[in-house]
Amino acid sequence: MATRRLPIGIQTFREIRESDCYYVDKTGYALRLFQGGKHYFLSRPRRFGKSLFLDTLKELFDGSRSLFVGLDVHDRWDWSVSFPVVRLDFGGLNATKPGALEEDVLAQLLNLESAAGVQARHSSGPRRLEDLIRSLHRDSGQRVCVLVDEYDKPILDALEDPELARANREYLRGLYGMIKSCDAHIRFCFLTGVSKFSKVSLFSGLNNLVDITLDERYAAICGYTEYDLETVFAAELPGLDRERIRDWYNGYSWGLPADTVYNPFALLLLFDKRTFKPWWFETGTPSFLTKLLTKRCVAADRLDGLRASEALLSTFDVGSIAPEALLFQTGYLTVGGRERGADGIEYFRLVYPNREVRQSLNLSLLNHITGDPSQRERQSQDLQQLLQAADLDGLEAWFRALFAGIPYHWHSRNTIADYEGYYASVFYSFFVGSGAMVTTEDSGSAGRADLVVRTASRTYLFEFKVFTSSQQGAALRQLQERDYAAKYRHLGLPIHLVGVEFNAQSRAVEVFESARA
């Protein structure tokens, strides 16, 4: 079977359609949006196809019929009518300097005005946007479609400079507020970005947006589904392990937990390179993410399974960023379940989407803590070998060396009561980064082990405690007396019990004991 071109990095709908590239048909979503309402907002992580979807909308509104032959929307769209389009795109803007945002907006508006033959009559961006929309409606006789891509990037770029971030936010508030003042001249409005800033902070003037981020009907508006893999990309699958593809790249969900999608960028690079790597993660994890998590001592082993309301997931603003919201909006956690609380509020259980994110994020956090990626990589490789060989003496030496090498300022951030959880989370990150299957506080009929690490040939149960001389050896005793291993005996694999006790005064591993279950 002849294969088509892989549209790696291509965000232009026309180029994809005219260059015989693979295309996953999202035009049915475009029709549903157009017929169902007027003002929409969508949040999705980077490199999920937001820009391509906006470009698809633009070609649809332009009436580019030939590009849609064979697609869902083709026979259901009125091609006798086209609409003027105002598209603003902040994806290429570097807004880390004062004035860069204003300059960019004016440049984009000048291009739009020149293309439409509209003479600028104002000096400010918001007023020129208003004049452009009104003029396009008047000259064409059709109301305008407004598309804004990466609406939030000018703020995200400047998060490490709160004063500039607030200045950019206030400018954008005025710009987006002008869209509402032109409502009579607008047929359709669609804004996309990575984050979801509160309506009060950014959209107070545009408070009629319908947020479809967590709308189950639009869960797959961006990303590739399992069905897409089996149909559109069938020719690329031979030679690749399907289960491994799912494990590495599937799992993102913004609707029901079962309605998962793949990240398009990672999947396309897998098809091209034929190698399993963290392709999406390597394109740029925001530095402020790891800084925020470590500054707030967010334990890595507590991320998988966080519980948050929709309101909390939308709590995102300059100087007020909930870690749950940041991780969810940037794609490092996704919807793993929904439940209605006793208070009537819907809560979301957040989980790592897949191996790529789980493994890479934990390694990124470790790099930030240790400050030496090459040493961390050596330690991770050593850990893999020790686990496979069941070298418990070597594992003890590895634990002691790692604990002794954690910088003092990381110790000093934690009280004695925090040690058990904090250092357990550091070891958790190493285990996850090594590629092992890791479960935290795994619940069984006999109780919970702090950490369960499974390889292809063995199971390890870890218990972490703060050392006290009166209860020396308590960690291993707890594993044995409560028979935490019972849950895993049916696997028929060797089970190792490991008790680790930290000394809060000497900053060292005081006790490391192991036994076969």
* Residues sharing a CB contact under 8 Å with residue 107, sequence separation 6 or more, in sequence order: none
3-class secondary structure, 114: helix
307 strand-pairing partners: 349
Hey, CA dihedral for 120, 126, 129, 130, is it positive or negative? negative
pLDDT recorded at residue 206: 63
Strands (E), 150-257: 186-193, 210-211
Considering only CA atoms, which of 101, 143, 150 is closest in space to residue 124?
Answer: 101
Instruction: Give the distance, in angstroms, between the CA of residue 304 and the centroid of all CA atoms in the same chain.
Output: 13
If the chain, 517 residues long, is cut into consecutive pieces of 10 residues, what is the mean pLDDT of each piece? Answer: 84 96 98 95 94 98 98 98 98 94 97 95 95 97 97 91 94 92 96 79 70 93 97 96 97 88 97 96 74 73 83 79 86 91 88 92 77 75 90 93 66 50 76 83 64 91 89 93 92 95 82 94
pLDDT for position 175: 94
The pLDDT, as a whole number, for residue 295 is 73
> According to the model, what pLDDT value does residue 436 have?
81
CA-to-CA distance for 71 and 186, rounded, in angstroms?
26
The pLDDT of residue 204 is 60
| pTM assigned to the model | 0.87
Cβ atoms of 57 and 14 within 8 Å: the answer is no
Domains of the chain are 13-218 (3.40.50), 225-369 (no CATH), 371-516 (3.40.1350)
